Amino acid sequence: MPARTSEPTSQPDEKPHYHGHRERLRERFHTAGPDALSDYELLEMALYPALPRRDTKPLAKTLLKTFGSFAEVIHAPVARLREIDGIGEASINQLKLIAAAAHRIAKGEIKRSVALSSWNDVIDYCRTGMAFADKEQFRLLFLDKRNRLIADEVQQTGTVDHTPVYPREVIKRALELSATALILVHNHPSGDPTPSQADIQMTKAIIDIAMPLGISVHDHIIVGKNGHASLKGLKLI
């Protein structure tokens, strides 16, 4: 009887083929910095803790092909992430941890700054927290007399294209916090930040109630994955 052949096996001390790649990528990250890495390389590194014994490059490329960018991957709905072949709960938790960290950092930055003199920080903060959400959210930034952030609260969460907003509830909360100014923020899950007529009317209704009480509405910002729009900048309020 001829001898049975078998598939070649790795020696006990032989490392998987991707270990060398991981080491080179880590070295480039440490020496050249994160800007030297492409989105998929940064993403594959982010997945290392969740998949320590697997080549993460193919998964990183699949995620980017599916969702479009690093930011869109980490903010993708959990249900859609679960549809990706090869991704498990550990990987999803890792991605959501990064998303939460990014939002927490942005929140810390805006709290340390004067909001209106750091407009780019305000926009970055709003986009980090909301631009890639799959449902509409209406968020309120409550400011004091020096335009410093007192509180950031999501007042309402709606459907994919509508969020109910109650102007009197907005002003009631501002009075409770002794806020003297507001920035209204909401997202458009469609990606297009163009304000609707309903957005404009709702903003004017809040302004009409706030003004006699000495509360200013500095702006209403709409964010989407394709950019942002300012009702004040568009001269709609």
Q: Would you place residue 131 in the very low, low, confident or very high pLDDT band (cuts 50, 70, 90)?
A: confident
Q: What is the mean pLDDT of residues 41-51?
A: 90
User: Which residues share a beta bridge with 11?
Assistant: none
170: CATH: 3.40.140.10
Residue 67 included in any domain: yes
Q: Would you place residue 159 in the very low, low, confident or very high pLDDT band (cuts 50, 70, 90)?
A: very low
Q: What is the mean pLDDT of residues 146-160?
A: 76
* Count of the separate structural domains present in the chain: 2
Using the 3D structure, point to which of 102, 128, 161 is the last residue of a domain: 102
Q: Would you place residue 211 in the very low, low, confident or very high pLDDT band (cuts 50, 70, 90)?
A: very high
- Give residue-wise pLDDT tens across range 87-110: 999 999 999 999 888 877 766 666
Assess whether 119 and 226 both reside in one domain. Answer: yes
Assess whether 149 and 218 both reside in one domain. Answer: yes
pLDDT at 163 (0 to 100): 53
Model confidence pTM above 0.95? no
Length of the chain: 237
Which 3 state secondary structure label does DSSP give 121?
helix
Using the 3D structure, point to which of 102, 123, 155 is the last residue of a domain: 102
Residue 178 included in any domain: yes
Residue 93 included in any domain: yes
Q: Would the pLDDT of 192 be above 80?
A: yes
In Å, what is the CA distance from 234 to each residue of 138, 228, 231, 237?
Answer: 19, 11, 5, 8
Assess whether 22 and 62 both reside in one domain. Answer: yes
Provide the domain limits for residue 49.
Answer: 18-102
Assess whether 189 and 165 both reside in one domain. Answer: yes
Residue 107 included in any domain: no
42: CATH: 1.10.150
Using the 3D structure, point to which of 102, 124, 146 is the last residue of a domain: 102
pLDDT at 108 (0 to 100): 67
Assess whether 159 and 210 both reside in one domain. Answer: yes
Nearest Cα residue to 206 out of 196, 197, 215: 215
Assess whether 91 and 123 both reside in one domain. Answer: no
pLDDT at 7 (0 to 100): 39
Q: What is the mean pLDDT of residues 47-73?
A: 90
CB 170 within 8 A of CB 193: no
Q: What is the mean pLDDT of residues 52-73?
A: 90
CB 30 within 8 A of CB 22: no
pLDDT at 75 (0 to 100): 83
pLDDT at 1 (0 to 100): 46
The structure tokens 């907003």 sit at 165
Assess whether 224 and 127 both reside in one domain. Answer: yes
Assess whether 162 and 202 both reside in one domain. Answer: yes
pLDDT at 30 (0 to 100): 84
Q: Give the helix/strand (H/E) hosting 91.
A: helix 89-111
Assess whether 130 and 32 both reside in one domain. Answer: no
Assess whether 69 and 138 both reside in one domain. Answer: no
